[in-house]
Structure 1
Amino acid sequence: MPFKPILTARQEEGESIPLLVWRLPALMRAISSAPLGGGIGDRGWVVNATVPMSYARDDPHEHLAALAGELGLDGAGVGLLTGVDVTQRVAAVDGDAEVWATVGLGKPIMAAADHVIPHQHRPGTINIVAFLPQRLSDAALVNAVATITEAKAQALWELGLHATGTATDAVTVLCPADGPAEPYGGPLSLWGGRLARAAHRAVREGGSRPKIPWSER
């Protein structure tokens, strides 16, 4: 997989805590719901960092920016956080679409449930990072996020969970910044279908593995 991340670690409070780093060979067009580098734009790197389940900082973007600086990453990038030990990441490929997922299901929810109370929620977090070799239009990138989310929900249903995800899930999709743009990213499009199948496999595999939150090790 050409976009295979580097597994490294940082020191915090006397502990070595893992994180995944993708150093992209060139700026890529990205869409992301991450706390750092979210939205649509050109990005040069991605970080997925483990944090304790007790994590309560109200400035995750600043925390991630500091971590990126410690790693020597500059320019615009994407930063994600998870209570999952990122050494348990799962990779899946379909055609030339690549997906990496860290799957935490400590507190799965139904998105439209009326009993979800944010301040009482113990987050799990499913972080998905996807790469395509084909440029997508901005509209297709938005569609691709929806497609990946639908595939994630399908995987959770097949795992026997009455849930659509967790309250802190994030998706990042990256593609070339130049070249002709494909207009569609839905599940019946070429690239949307590939993303859906890869995301489904990654989430299903990751969700079937036993998980130990970093703070409980």
Structure 2
Amino acid sequence: MSQPFRQGDKYDSKIWEGVWLRLLEDRVVIHSPRKLTTLSNAIHTGGLAEADTIVNWKVPLDYAGTDPAKDTSDQLATWGYAPERTIGLLTAAKLTHASVAEMEGDCFKLVCVTTAGTRNAARAGLPRNTFSAYSAGTINTVLLVDGQMTESAMTNAVITYAEAKAAALQDLQLNDSETNRIATGTTTDTVVVGVSGNAVYSAVHAYAGTATTIGNAIGRLVYETVLEACRTQHES
């Protein structure tokens, strides 16, 4: 676990050759050497898709676009990214404080990247005013898996991610200002799970719950990166 962009603008994976991150003026770019099968709730190219590039775009704290999907698509095109193989995310968090963690395990390599702004922290499961305006902020997490996973396991990975994120916020004692209870996330969190399908690995992961090797790794890295990114978000 580290925050490489607090000291530079480049990070190359230590375990997965060809995977790199770059910090530019208004975005973090995450690149894979091969096209990934992705599952996400991203604003651009969400759902099940294929992509080799993920762009986390920093927008102003007062961003109030009425069509964020179009804004993101237009901005990606302006930068020159191929829209059909690029996933676009929005954030108002400090990109310099992105937290990165990696792990090599049982028939997989895993890279996890989280940026965090929690001004709109919220607790799921309680009544709230869904029409009120929330201040900008989001927790964006990208999970890159070099290995083979079923679509069911990718969905399981999203569940494990959500559990680990909520656990990190609980340990940080981060409150939802509306309910004054511990937050489980923010109102705009995004997760991307990208899987290489690399046939060099003999096993196909059919599950990704916390009792599996890959699920345990996902939970650990999500917890660590969410904890670090949230804890340091107000530091210079």
- TM norm structure 2: 0.81
Deviation digits for residues 37-57 of structure 1 (CA, Å, limit 9, x no counterpart):
110121121000111121111
Given the alignment of the two structures, is residue 174 of structure 1 paired with residue 194 of structure 2, yes or no? yes
Task: Show the counterpart of 2:69.
Answer: 61
Which residue in the other structure is 1:15 paired with? none
Deviations 1:101-140 (A, max 9, x none): 0011112110112024243222420000011111211111
Which residue identity lines up with residue 48 of structure 1 in the other structure?
N
| Structure 2 portions without partners, runs of 5+ | 1-12, 175-181
1:42·1:177 contact (CA, 8 Å) conserved in 2? Answer: no
Q: Residue 39 in 1 paired to residue 47 in 2?
A: yes
User: In the TM superposition, what is the alpha-carbon distance from 1:99 to its structure 2 partner?
Assistant: 0.6
In structure 2, distance between residues paired with 1:135 and 1:65: 29
Aligned to 2:22: 6
Single out whichever of 159-168 and 63-72 deviates more from structure 2: 63-72
Is the Cα–Cα contact under 8 Å of residues 141 and 173 in structure 1 kept in the other structure?
yes
Identity %: 28
Superposition deviation, residue 203 in structure 1: 0.4
Q: What displacement does 1:76 show?
A: 2.3
CA shift at 1:178, angstroms? 5.2
Post-superposition Cα deviations, 1:29-79, rounded to whole Å, max 9, x if no partner, equal 111111111101211210001111211112222222222223322132211
Q: Which amino acid aligns with 2:20?
A: K
Letter in 2 for 1:140: A
Number of residue pairs the alignment of both structures matches:
205
Whole-Å Cα distance in 1 between the matches of residues 55 and 225 of structure 2? 18
- 2:39 counterpart letter in structure 1: I
Q: Distance in 2 between matches of 1:152 and 1:115?
A: 21
Contact 1:104 1:211 in 2 (8 A): no
Per the alignment, residue 28 of structure 1 pairs with 36
Equivalent residue for 1:130?
Answer: 143
User: Does the 8 Å contact 1:27/1:177 carry over to 2?
Assistant: no
1:72 to 80, 83, 90: 80
Task: Identify unmatched segments of 5+ residues in structure 1.
Answer: 10-17
Contact 1:94 1:197 in 2 (8 A): no
From the superposition, tell whether residues 181 and 40 of structure 1 become closer, same or farther in structure 2 (CA, over 3 Å): farther
Q: Secondary structure at the match of 1:148?
A: helix
Q: d(CA) in 2 for partners of 1:79 and 1:127?
A: 11
Secondary structure of the residue that 2:33 maps to in structure 1?
A: strand
Query: Aligned runs of 1:51-130 on 2, under 5 Å?
Result: 51-74=59-82, 75-95=84-104, 96-130=109-143
Equivalent in 172, 183, 186 of residue 209 of structure 2: 186
Task: Return the TM-score normalized by structure 1.
Answer: 0.88
2:8 matched to which residue of 1?
none
